[in-house]
Each structure stands twice: as C-alpha cells, then as structure tokens.
Amino acid sequence: MMNINIKKMAKIFWLGSFIIFCINCRQPVVPTEEDLAGYGWTLYKTGEYTEAREWFYDAVSKDSSYADGFNGIGWCFGKLRQADSAAVYFHISQTKTYDPYDTPDLDLDLYAGLTFSYSGMHNDSLVRTYASYVLVERPELGPWYFSHDNNINHLDVRLELALAEFNMGYFSSCRDNLQSIYNDSYYQSFPSNIVKSLTMNLDTVLGRAELAQVLQSLQQALKNI
C-alpha cells in the first residue's frame, strides 16, 4: 500500500513540475501593429498627441502597409497644427489596403482629415474636393463622425466646405451648406442651437456680410457640440 502511495505522490509531483516548467517557458507576447496603434488612439483621446504619434510611428515601422497607423499619424499632426505634414500621412494611408471590417470608415476618416488639412493650408479648391467625398450620403452608415473623437463629425466638414466656397466667391453654395447645417437633425438635437432660415440677398455687400456673420456664428456653435 505504501509503495502505491509513493508512486502516486511521485506522479503528482512530476506533473506539477511539468506545468510550472511550461509556464516558465512561455514565449513573451509581442505586440502587433494593431496593438501599437490601439494604444496610440487611447493616447490621442486623452489629448497626448505627440506621444500618440510615436506609437503610430512604431505601428507603421512594424508594418509599413498598416493604413490606420498612417491615418493616426495624420490626425496627430493635425491636432499639433501641422497641416502640411498631416496631409502627407493621409495621402500615404490612402495608398495602403485596409480591412473594412476593422476600420469600416477609414476612407471617410482620410477624406475628412484631408479636408481639415487643406483648410489649414488655405487650399479651398481641395477642401471642396475632399469634403464632397465625406458628405456623399451612405444610408447604411449614416452621417460621418470620427470614431476616435465624436465631437468631430459631418457638420464640421460641411462648415469647412461652406468656408471654402465663401472664400472662392460661391456664395449661393455657401449659403446652401450653412442651411444644411441648420436643418440637420443632429444640430437641432441641441436645444441651445438656434435654427435659422437663410434668405439674405447675396448680390449685395450687406447680404454677403450677413453670410459671413452666419459662418462665424456656426463655427462657435459647432465647437460646443
């Protein structure tokens, strides 16, 4: 009987030792480019744009085809008010393939980023080009909003479009886009937002001055929603 117990104890001891050995031999976890970019977006959301950019740099260094890494670098440069650098990385991201399941709105994020970048560079023609891509209706997705900052959405893009059109002398189109903001259900969901019907005469200096005032008013309103 004693010999049997000793054998059982020896077997249990050997099994426990083997488990401990396996645990200790486990290979270290190596972060993927998605992990690196994921932490970059976490830092981005807390306003640590320089630090976030470094994590995105690490992601694209690990995988030079990783589109969302270049996208992240672009948005960080935008927040750091370096519009020209932001545009460069958005364009690089456009040359990469991406998984629409993981980042379904990446193309719209890039178009929006380029809209803001070219606005910062005062290139009104390209602002109109890229804003129009963002504002194309996609019933299955709904209006665009930036998944990493819900305060940035289609209304901001439309405002940039209206500003570019004002600068280019397309006053009627500018007014139409401002009216679209007023008519938007998301804009109207905030009780503090004033809804207007824009009927100013754009053939007059006074009417265009009024249009400019509406632009300024909506810029302030959208900062608060």
Structural tokens at position 117 = 């970048």
Query: What's the pLDDT score for residue 181?
Result: 98
**pLDDT for the residue 27:** 55
Model confidence at 3: pLDDT above 50: no
Q: Check pLDDT > 50 for residue 126.
A: yes
Q: 146 in helix, strand or coil?
A: strand
Question: Tell me, what amino acid is at 43?
Answer: L
- The chain-wide mean pLDDT, for the chain, equals 89
| Predicted confidence band of residue 13 (pLDDT cuts 50, 70, 90) | very low
Q: What is the pLDDT of residue 95?
A: 97
Q: Quick one: pLDDT at residue 19?
A: 41
- Report long-range pairs for 120-129 (Cβ below 8 Å, ≥24 apart): 120/78, 120/81, 120/83, 120/86, 121/83, 121/84, 121/87, 122/167, 124/164, 124/165, 124/167, 124/168, 125/164, 125/168, 127/160, 127/161, 127/163, 127/164, 128/161, 128/164, 128/165, 128/168
18: helix, strand or coil:
helix
**pLDDT grade, residue 33 (50/70/90)?**
confident
Question: pLDDT digit string (tens) for 143-201?
Answer: 999 999 989 999 999 999 999 999 999 999 999 999 999 999 999 999 999 999 999 99
